[in-house]
Structures are given as structure tokens and as C-alpha cells.
Chain A
Amino acid sequence: MPLYIRAPYPFYKERVMKEIFTLKSRLQWRVASALLRSVGLPVGHGWEKTVAKFPELNKKIEKDLNDACRNHILCGDKSVRAYRLKHREYSSIIAKANMFLDKSSLLTKSYPYSLGEEDLNDVEINAPEFVFVNEDSEVVHLVLASHKAVRVRETMDREILAEALGQRSLALAEKVMSSHEVISVRIEQRHAYDIICIHKERAIAEVRIDIFGNSNPSLKVPEIEEAHRSILNKFNDIEEYYLTNQINLYPAINGLLHLNEDQEDRRARVTRFGYLGPTGICREERKLHGDVRSDPTHLAALDAHKDDSAPVTPYDIEVQFPGSVLVSQPYIALALHGTETLARSEKPDLGEMTVTKCLYETDFRAVTAEVYNRLK
């Protein structure tokens, strides 16, 4: 249920309910709470209590929240594919995208906010719609809106469930009560904003697909694949065969493993690393608290491989970067997820990366630049 219809709020809270609903539906709580603190709002124990304790808002807070929505649409929790561009002539693309903007559409009118599930059900959306076009000195942003069906997992109250089931099957009720936890999976429609970002200097276009943190709620791999395909199809209406030369991101994995390696105070941390050893055995290392590169097990494994003639073959990495704008923000996570099959192939090709927990477009560009700079 949308937050803004749950309780009658004082008028000053009603003014920002669209922003709060947008942030609640798009951001993971830990990221959202850091953001709210940074704009000067008190943070309570969860969303409900936070909104309940909002003080009288001023214009600056309202503007900051609005900016946060606009920024998060561009850079928050995205699956990213990159394409090398054939030419650097962008003005016709901008002009054509503007022609596709339908200012009477509900999706265009609601930008930069998220619609609730009930509102989305009333809109007939067959394909992503262009809702916003923006250009600055460095990039062009084409914003497309659609809705995505995501799986939301929630812990159920066992006693209530067992009582309801007990009327039909006592055995099932007993099974529920003896289980550790009962989780329900619900399909929910979410308002998604997907982006085509053209980097003028690099002559690269990124397709950034909303994945909503991809933990809870979650999208499956074929659904993300389908979302990428539908954005490409839509872009073909503007310029056919423009986004065809997809960049292989695989070569960046090895470079990212050595990021900041020579610095004592590592700003970036490698939290996951998967590789194929010379003996053909796969290893996956993970460390949520710290850096896998400092772990003696990791160092010992790599030292052992140094003695062999064949080097290790990396296929999976996750790096966490601190936010440059928001110091209190949890780490921005960049992941290049490959599989063992990828590592074993003759010409490994990895077309996708994910960036999560990012709040600002400038940080997003800085993080993806770490990948592009390591492709050669």
C-alpha cells in the first residue's frame, strides 16, 4: 500500500509524500536513511517512524528530496550494458527523443516520482516510454519509464498462518509451526525508470536498467535480459543499429582486483572474488566485513598459484567504493558477475555490470569509469 495514503499527515508532510513514496519504493533502507540524514531530516526506527517524526519542512529540504529522486532515477541500483558509438552526432538523437515525449501521458506527468501499484494497473504500458530528455556538457540522459513485475519476499506470521491452515489441515498447521521461518513471495508491479546515458567524451552509451537493489524485491536474469532488449528496441525507433557494438567488460575484472592495492588505506574494497586456478579448481571468496585481498587464505592461494606457469583466471568480482558526495552513505557496490563457464571459455565475454547503493550520478560515473579505464 502506498505510504502516502496510510495516514493523514500534517500538510507540510503531505507536500513531500510523493518524494518519500518514491524513495521508499526505490531505495534500500540503509541507503535511504543515510540520504535523509544528509538533507537534515531526523531518522527513526524504520520508514514509518521516520515519517512520523518529520519536523516542519523548509524549501531547501523539499528541493533536496526532489533532487534525490531525480538523481536516483539516473543512477540507483542498475544493471548496466555499454555500447561503443559509431558517431558522435548526438543532436539528432536528442531531437528525435524529444519528439517521442508524450506530455499528456501519465508516466511523463509523474516523472520524477514513482506511481503506486494501483495507479500502474490503470496505465496501459506495452513498451517503455520516453519521459525525460536531458543534456549537459558531458552526457545525454534519455529517461524511459515502464513497470516491472518484481518478487517481494516477506516473512509471514507463523501463528496467524497456522491458525488459518488448521481449519483445513492440522498436519500442515503443525508443519508451519515447526518451521524456522515462513516466507511469502508476492509479485508486485513497480514503476521502473531505465536510462540511456550517452557519454560524449568516451563515445559510449550505457543502458541502465532498474533492478531495485535486486535483493528484496528481486528480478530474475531473463527478466533483466528482457528489460535490456525492450530498451534497445525502443531506441531503434530513434536510431536503428546505433546500439549494436556492445563492450566486453571482462578484461576489467583483473584490473579491478588490483585497485588501490598499493595503498595502505584502501578506499575501495574487494568484497567478492571468483577465479579459476591453474589446476582447474574454482574458488569463490567473499568478505562483507573487510577486503578479500587482505585475507591470509586469499594471499596463500594466490601465492601458491604464482609458482605455477599458468595464471589464475578471474570471472567474478564485487568492489565497494565509498560515496564521494555523501560520506555517511553505505558503500557503493560495483559487481561484474561471471560464471565458471565464462572463465573456461576461450574468449570470455561479459556484457553486464551492476551498480547498487549509489545515490548520485557523479559517483555512478566515477565508479563505471574504473571499469572503462581498465578495459585495455
Chain B
Amino acid sequence: MASQKWEIPRPDQRAGLGVLDCFEEFLRRNEPDHLRNREYSLNQFAQLCGRAEPDDDTLNCARYLVSQGVFEVFYLFLDSHGEFSETYSAREVEDAEQVGSLVDPHTGNELSDFRTRLFPFFALNEPKHT
């Protein structure tokens, strides 16, 4: 079976050369079939773009791919035992940013330092971009 190809519009030039470079590398290095049913941390996403670790360009490239519906972003919550115990959607995290606190999924108490507890992960959306 022939592998599927990406159909994602290029980001605007104003996004900057670094972001464009990340985007091109992402298309060159990856095929949709290889990314399905996997979850990628920010570090792993940077590697998909050919970078050793995440920087502003990979972050902005990730934002662009999420805005285009290529990836879904979700967050894992690190609980007080140091374990990832719950997932949060991007919408829930946006709401928490607006309010200035996240509700602890176990106790129901408000956490103001929630940003250090949430870790973004990316999962490929099916399959309108291919």
C-alpha cells in the first residue's frame, strides 16, 4: 500500500525562517502512517523536526500544526506522587490559564502553580491533513 502524504499549507513567511525550517524538516522526515496512534512529548516532537531539544521554533511549529488540525494537543497532570495520573484537554488548560488556577483532579482544591504540573503531548489527528 502506498504511504500517505501530508497536505498541509506552508506557514506564512512572517512566521520566521526557523519555524519554516522546522516545518520543512517535519514534512521531510515523517510520514503520517508512522506517527499514528503514538503520543509525542515536546522533546520527542522536536526530534520529529530534526532538533535535539525543543526551542522557540519547534514550539511555534507545534502550535502551527495544532492550529491546522494536524495534531491534537493534550496535557498529562503530574500528581503529588510524581506520577502522570490524569489527562487534560487543551480547552481545560486554556480555561485554567484564564482563571489563574487549575482544579486538582483528586482533591478539588485550586492549584495556582499548575503550570509546573502539566506536560504537553501531541497526538496525530485523523486524517484530513493527508
Contacts of B83 in A (CB 8 A): 215
Closest Cβ neighbor of B37 among chain A residues? A294
The answer to whether the Cβ of B87 comes within 8 Å of any Cβ in the partner chain is yes
Interface residues contributed by chain A, number (CB under 8 Å): 29
Do B123 and A289 have beta carbons less than 8 Å apart? yes
Interface segment among A28-36, A97-105, A116-124: the answer is A28-36
The answer to whether the Cβ of B36 comes within 8 Å of any Cβ in the partner chain is yes
Closest-CB distance, B14 to chain A (whole angstroms) = 33
Scan B82-97; emit 1 where CB is below 8 A from any A CB, else 0: 0111110000000000
Contacts of B76 in A (CB 8 A): 288-289
The answer to whether the Cβ of B10 comes within 8 Å of any Cβ in the partner chain is no
Closest-CB distance, B79 to chain A (whole angstroms) = 6
Closest-CB distance, A21 to chain B (whole angstroms) = 12
Could you tell me which residues of chain B, from 85 to 130, have a CB within 8 Å of some CB in chain A? 85-87, 99, 101, 103-111, 113, 116, 121, 123
Do A29 and B123 have beta carbons less than 8 Å apart? no
Contacts of B107 in A (CB 8 A): 29, 47, 216
Given known contacts A29-B104, A216-B81, A180 and B116 CB-to-CB distance under 8 angstroms: yes
Contacts of B74 in A (CB 8 A): 289
Do A215 and B121 have beta carbons less than 8 Å apart? no
Closest Cβ neighbor of A180 among chain B residues? B116
Q: How far is the CA of A28 from the CA of B85 in the complex (A)?
A: 12
Do A28 and B103 have beta carbons less than 8 Å apart? no
Closest-CB distance, B82 to chain A (whole angstroms) = 9
The answer to whether the Cβ of B13 comes within 8 Å of any Cβ in the partner chain is no
Closest Cβ neighbor of A44 among chain B residues? B103
Do B86 and A288 have beta carbons less than 8 Å apart? yes
Do B103 and A216 have beta carbons less than 8 Å apart? no
Closest-CB distance, B27 to chain A (whole angstroms) = 20
The answer to whether the Cβ of B38 comes within 8 Å of any Cβ in the partner chain is yes
Q: Which of A29, A183, A288 contacts B108 (CB 8 A)?
A: A29
Could you tell me which residues of chain A, from 149 to 206, have a CB within 8 Å of some CB in chain B? 153-155, 180-181, 183
Closest-CB distance, B98 to chain A (whole angstroms) = 10
Contacts of B103 in A (CB 8 A): 29, 45-46
The answer to whether the Cβ of A237 comes within 8 Å of any Cβ in the partner chain is no
Given known contacts A45-B110, A290-B37, A294-B37, A28 and B81 CB-to-CB distance under 8 angstroms: no
Given known contacts A29-B107, A215-B106, A290-B37, A45 and B81 CB-to-CB distance under 8 angstroms: no
Could you tell me which residues of chain A, from 1 to 40, have a CB within 8 Å of some CB in chain B? 24, 28-30, 32-33
Given known contacts A215-B81, A289-B87, A47 and B109 CB-to-CB distance under 8 angstroms: yes
Could you tell me which residues of chain B, from 27 to 58, have a CB within 8 Å of some CB in chain A? 34, 36-39
Do A46 and B109 have beta carbons less than 8 Å apart? yes
Contacts of A180 in B (CB 8 A): 116
Q: Which of A46, A153, A294, A295 contacts B81 (CB 8 A)?
A: A153
Closest-CB distance, B91 to chain A (whole angstroms) = 14
Do A155 and B80 have beta carbons less than 8 Å apart? yes
Do B101 and A45 have beta carbons less than 8 Å apart? yes
Do A32 and B87 have beta carbons less than 8 Å apart? no
Q: How far is the CA of A336 from the CA of B38 in the complex (A)?
A: 24
Do A295 and B38 have beta carbons less than 8 Å apart? yes
Contacts of B110 in A (CB 8 A): 45-46, 48
The answer to whether the Cβ of A296 comes within 8 Å of any Cβ in the partner chain is yes
Contacts of A216 in B (CB 8 A): 79-81, 104, 106-107
Contacts of A220 in B (CB 8 A): none
Closest Cβ neighbor of B39 among chain A residues? A289
Do B81 and A218 have beta carbons less than 8 Å apart? yes
The answer to whether the Cβ of A213 comes within 8 Å of any Cβ in the partner chain is yes
Do B108 and A32 have beta carbons less than 8 Å apart? yes
The answer to whether the Cβ of A287 comes within 8 Å of any Cβ in the partner chain is yes
Do A24 and B37 have beta carbons less than 8 Å apart? no
Scan B2-29; emit 1 where CB is below 8 A from any A CB, else 0: 0000000000000000000000000000
Q: How far is the CA of A29 from the CA of B105 in the complex (A)?
A: 5
Do B38 and A296 have beta carbons less than 8 Å apart? yes
Q: Give 13 A-B contacts (CB < 8 Å), ordered by A residue.
A: A29-B104, A29-B107, A45-B103, A46-B101, A47-B107, A47-B109, A153-B80, A180-B116, A215-B79, A216-B80, A216-B104, A289-B74, A297-B38
Binding site for A on B (CB under 8 A): 34, 36-39, 74, 76, 79-81, 83-87, 99, 101, 103-111, 113, 116, 121, 123
Binding site for B on A (CB under 8 A): 24, 28-30, 32-33, 45-48, 50, 153-155, 180-181, 183, 213, 215-216, 218, 287-290, 294-297
3 smallest CB-CB distances across A and B, nearest first, come from A29-B108, A47-B108, A153-B80
